[in-house]
Every structure is written in C-alpha cells, then in structure tokens.
Amino acid sequence: MSRPKFVAGNWKMYTTRAGAVDLAAAVAKGLPAGGKTRVAVCPPFPWLTAVADALKGTPVAVGAQNCHFEKEGAFTGETAPGMILDAGCQYVIIGHSERRHGFGETDGLLNKKTKAALAAGLSVIFCVGELLAEREASQTEKVLETQLTHGLADLSAAQLEKVVVAYEPVWAIGTGKVATTEQAQAAHAFIRQKIAGQFGEKAAAGLLIQYGGSVKPDNAAALLHQPDVDGALVGGASLKADTFLAIVAAGG
C-alpha cells in the first residue's frame, strides 16, 4: 500500500504569539505547489487560535500538544479535546516522551486521552518509544509492545484510521543523537507488525508511522525513505521555517 508522508512540527514551549503566527505563515508560504506531503504544526496552547486563523485556507493543519480526557469539568489548568477542536485544530499529540517521563503519564491515562480525543473528532499523533537504558538492555520491542497494547486498548480498526503513531526513541530527543536508518526502520516495522496483530493487516498497512528524534534536513531524506517510515515528528528543527520546510521537502 502506498502511504502519504506526514511531517508535523512540535513547537513545545517556545515562540511568542507574533513569532508563532509568522512561523506558521512562513511554513504555509514555503510549501511547494502540489506537494504531496501532509504538514501540521503544533503550537503552544495560547497560540492555537491565532495560528489556526493564520493557516485558514492553506494545506497546513494545526495540532495541540496535549489534552485532558474529560469533556469539561473542574480540572484547573487543563484543556478538553473539544476546546482544542473549537480552537481550529485537527490533531493532538498524545503520549510524547516529555509527558510520559517528565509528567508521569501512564499508558492507562494516555488510552483515556486517546479515546476522548477521537470521540471529540480530533486525529491523534500517538507517541511511543524507549529510553536509552531500555534499548541497551534489548527491551525496545517489549517497551513498544506494552505502549501500543495498553495505549491503544479497546480502539476499533475504524478509530485507528484517525491515529498516527510516532516512534520517538527517547535517547534521541533533543540530544542531537539520531537512530540509524536501520534502527528506525526496524522499530517502525515492529510497530506495524504489532498493529497488524492488534487491529488487522489492513489497518496496519494504512497506518502512518512517523519518526521523531533529532530529525534535521541532513538526515531527513535517509529516514523518510525507509519502507515503514511515513514521516516525521519534528522538534527543534520545526522552529525555523527553512529547516522545517527542508524536512518536508525530503519526504518527496
């Protein structure tokens, strides 16, 4: 099955309002006419509406970086999936390693968030990946299997059509290290195999699996042309339009 490429920028806790709008506009302006690669940007919460407004009528989608699992309620400081949708978003990142390991988010919690986001009408970028100690202990596949099995538990194959999986080896995020093309391909192929067992071959064949972890213009092409790598979840390199657009261009 021929799958489209999908490159998303995770702006994390960076940018000002004006800077976010300018960056979004520059990304949209710089996309090649008729480009086939899907593109999204994920700004900080306060800038979602401003960025969504700036990107109206362009091919660039907007995503949030996190969400709560309830529709509404007394959850001070949290943001419901429906609010994210109402702000102009199509996507939400769930389970980024900085949420898993910095904020202690569990597979069970991430499963609740995923279900809530899908129920609200959002598409989910669901992140999985192992720590350096886990890779060195040859536990990568065990970790990925656990995160996929529990994080995507009780979803249907139809719901999975609105899920993108992002493989992000935690040891490669913000470190300058990057998985080799062989390491990335092996992990992506394993993820697709596990999804096939969980949701069926057809669902697995259609699933987009992004690579995330120090993706830059100089390594993007080699990564994005691996058979099971369908795009990238880009961190630091997404904060400058020229570097982000170079990664998008590397997808073909």
Q: Which amino acid type is present at position 138?
A: S
pLDDT tens-place string over residues 169-199? 998 887 878 789 999 999 999 999 999 999 9
Is 222 in contact with 200 (CB distance < 8 Å)? no
Catalytic residue among 68, 145, 168, 188: 168
Residue 96 identity? H
Binding residues for substrate: 10-12, 174, 214, 235-236
Residues contributing to the annotated binding site: 10-12, 174, 214, 235-236
Residue 179, pLDDT score: 87
Q: Are 212 and 168 in contact (CB under 8 A)?
A: yes
Our answer to whether residue 98 is catalytic in this structure is: no
Query: Which member of 96, 105, 130, 134 is catalytic?
Result: 96
pLDDT per residue as tens digits for the range 48-86: 999 999 999 999 999 999 999 999 999 999 999 999 999
Question: What is the CATH code for 6-250?
Answer: 3.20.20.70
96 included as an active-site residue: yes
**How is the chain split into domains, by residue range?**
6-250
